[in-house]
Structure 1
Amino acid sequence: MSKAKQLLDELQNLDLDIQSRIDEINELEADLLSSPKWKADKVQGGQARKVDDVYTQLIVMKEALEQATNEVIERRIELIGFINKLQNPKHRAVLRMVYVRKMHLLDICEGLGGVSGSTYSRLKRSAEAELERILSEMTVDDNK
């Protein structure tokens, strides 16, 4: 698989990852708000867990999730930045519609001025090829 295709696939899947992390943070916040139900119970042979310890653990988990979520969001911004480097505005538009906005094929064709499905496919392939060239040039520059 080409580097451009890997990047675009990663971009397309990041929204699901971000949303699942946000949902997890929301659940932790809900746990923090409803925590009075927890007691300082002692597990057989174990030590009593204080309510403060549980709050602390939830807060630490929430902060770690928020930090990880921010890193994923930064990666998404970075990947979108690669699309923004494309010279052809139609190439930028088609990749943003497909991989960032996740639009339906018919909506993309309409958004591109009522183009046909085959014109859309040609534009998408050309845009992916242009992105591949940009990524290759960046890799060559990094190796210098």
Structure 2
Amino acid sequence: MNKAKELLNELQNLDMDIQSRIDEINELEAGLLSSPKWKTDKVQGGQARQVDDVYTQLIVMKEAIEQDTNEVINRKLELGRLINKLKNPKHRAVLRMTYINKGTADSVCYDLKMSRTTYYRLKNEAVSALEEVI
């Protein structure tokens, strides 16, 4: 697989990655809100774990996930900017609608008022043009 197709496939899957990270942050925040029911762990011979320690760990974890999420979002923006470098506006539109907006061939054809043959021709041309940009 050429580099352009690899980047486009990565771009198409980034939303799923971003959403999973957002879900993880939401779960952590829900845990922070419901955590007053936690008690200090008292294990015989073990070290007591304070509620404040748990809060601190959750907050640190949330910040790390937020930082990772920002990096993934920046990667998506970077890949979108590569598409913006294409000279032909139809190439840009086809790639954006297919890989960023996740449109089907039929929906892109309908929106751009073109046949499926034209869509696939433009898509192949756009991938080739993107390969040259990379």
User: What TM-score comes out, normalization by structure 1 length?
Assistant: 0.91
Q: Deviations over 1:77-129 (max 9, x none)?
A: 0000000000000000000000000012211001112x111111101000000
The Cα shift of 1:45 comes to 3.4
- The separation in 1 between residues aligned to 2:74 and 2:16, in whole angstroms, is 15
Residue of structure 2 equivalent to 1:141: none
Q: Does 1:71 align with 2:71?
A: yes
Deviates more, 1:102-111 or 1:18-27: 102-111
Does 2:128 correspond to 1:133?
A: no
Amino acid at match of 2:111: G
User: What CA RMSD, in Å, does the superposition of the two structures yield over aligned residues?
Assistant: 0.8
1:16 aligns with 2:16: yes
TM-score by length of 2: 0.97
SS of 2:75 mapped into structure 1: helix
The structural deviation recorded for 1:44 is 4.4
Structure 2 distance, partners of 1:126, 1:77, is 22
In the aligned structure 1, how far is the partner of 2:44 from the partner of 2:73? 43
For residue 21 of structure 2, what is the amino acid of its counterpart? R
Mind listing any 5+ residue stretches in structure 2 that lack a counterpart? Answer: none
Distance 1:77 1:32 in 2: 31
Equivalent residue of 1:68, what SS?
Answer: helix
How many angstroms does 1:50 deviate by?
0.5
Q: Which has the higher contact order (CA 8 A, sep 6+)?
A: 2
How many pairs align?
Answer: 134
